[in-house]
Amino acid sequence: MRKRLSIEEYIEGIKSQNRFVLSRAITLVESELASDNALASELIEALLPLTGNSIRIGITGVPGVGKSTFIEAFGNLVTSLGKKLAVLAIDPSSQRTGGSIMGDKTRMETLGRNPLAFIRPSPAGSSLGGVSRKTRESMLLCEAAGFEVILIETVGVGQSETAVSNMVDFFLLLMLAGAGDELQGIKKGIMEMADAVVITKADGDNAPKAHLAKAEYQSALHLFPPSETGWQAQVLTCSALENKGLQEIWELIMQYQCLLQSNHSFQQKRQAQNIAWMHEVIKQSLENQFYNHFLIKKLIKEKEDSIKEGKQHSVKAAIELLELYANR
């Protein structure tokens, strides 16, 4: 059994950019043990002054769009500029077993060997948007360890992507061309959240389709008003296989950052995200306390059986359990 690190060892290890200690710290914040949660909270608090100095980029898209291939090519570009890159790849989790594929690190072999890159796959669990419940803490740990660019890859399986947009500076939506009607089935909400849309696999016979899709998406985005920050989302094309369009994407992200910093929206956005994080933690904590209370554990199966048998309405059962918990 590995020796448990002290809070001082975690802090010094992360400050010295020790990746082994960073990995153990991320495992600590992902733990469900109460003792680990207390230590993780203390660690995050101690490291907060070292955080906030990165550009945080969320990347999402439907399965098959080539997220891992894109991230590896884009990550290699970022590191070629001398920047330290951390990739938090959220892997799909089985809703039956809780298991995770955890394949992103394997798929990003070249980037995984890059001395300026750090790749950490984490199971999504039941979190909406395919974002691990502890992704924010992991992101802060990476910032404290000196990483200048943080990429957060979400599962992208059609769940709400609000979670990732509420923790990153720039939200990148990857789309495919040539998959039928380009605008069919696009959710207005996710398009409004995107700071840029990138049409992937713009190479070979697919290149003309990608450029056509770019024009169609750009027309659709013009129907949306600019965001409160003053930024108008743009559409680009890229080929990760041919390393085309990646430099333009990075330059666009830098333009976005400069604009938001010049009009003071950058810091305001992060402040709003920190407030949203507080409310999210409150909701999660209340939910955990509710379901872990011994009375609720004892009665919830009875309520489920009553609902199955048609003896009680779902809403009434929920209200009774909530009232029981409130009056405990």
- Say which CATH number the domain at 39 has: 1.20.5.170
Same domain flag for 175 and 80: yes
Judge if 14 and 65 occupy the same domain.
no
Residue 225 placed within a domain = yes
Residues 6+ apart with CB under 8 A from 246: 73, 74, 77, 238, 240
Task: Look at residues 29, 50, 71 and tell me which one is the last residue of a structural domain.
Answer: 50
Average per-residue pLDDT in the chain? 85
Residue 294 lies in a domain: yes
268 is a domain residue: no
Burial level of 154, CB count in 10 A (0-12/13-18/19+)?
Answer: buried
Please determine, for residue 240, whether its predicted confidence score (pLDDT) is greater than 60.
yes
- Spatial neighbors of 74 by CB under 8 A, at least 6 apart, are 151, 240, 246, 249, 250
In a domain, 272, yes or no: no
Mean pLDDT of 253-259: 96
Tokens of 122: 């984490």
CA atoms within 13 Å, Cβ hemisphere of 198: 30
Is the pLDDT assigned to residue 182 strictly greater than 60? no
Beta bridge partners of 55: 149
pLDDT recorded at residue 133:
62
Residue 124, pLDDT score: 55
pLDDT category of residue 25 using cuts at 50, 70 and 90: very high
25 in the same domain as 125: no
Residues 111/72, Cβ–Cβ less than 8 Å = yes
Same domain (yes/no): 252, 124: yes
Q: Is residue 269 part of a domain?
A: no
The answer to whether residues 169 and 312 belong to one domain is: no
* 3-state secondary structure labels for all residues of 139-187: HHHHHHCCCCEEEEECCCCCCCCHHHHCCCCEEEEEECCCCCCCCCCCC
Binning pLDDT at 50, 70 and 90, where does residue 128 land?
Answer: very low
Residue 207 is part of which domain span? 51-263
Are 154 and 197 in the same domain? yes
Q: Give yes or no for a contact between 102 and 139, defined as CB atoms under 8 angstroms apart.
A: no
Q: Could you tell me if residue 314 is inside a domain?
A: yes
Rounded CA-CA distance 298/306 in Å is: 14
In this prediction, residues 308-325 reach a mean pLDDT of: 94
Span 268-294, pLDDT tens digits: 999 999 998 888 889 888 998 999 999
- Residue 63 belongs to a domain with what CATH number? 3.40.50.300
Do 87 and 223 sit in the same domain of this protein?
Answer: yes
Question: Are 42 and 71 in a shared domain?
Answer: no
User: Is residue 89 a contact partner of residue 57, using CB atoms and an 8 Å limit?
Assistant: no
- Asked whether residue 177 falls in the same domain as residue 163, the answer is yes
pLDDT of residue 228: 83
pLDDT digits (tens, 9 = 90+) for 133-177: 688 999 999 999 999 999 998 866 445 466 778 889 999 999 888
Q: How many domains does the chain have?
A: 3
210 with 291, same domain? no
Shared domain for 168 and 226, answered yes or no, is: yes
Confidence of residue 97 (pLDDT cuts 50, 70, 90): very low
Written as six digits, the tokens of 97 are 């077993």
Q: Are residues 220 and 298 in the same domain?
A: no
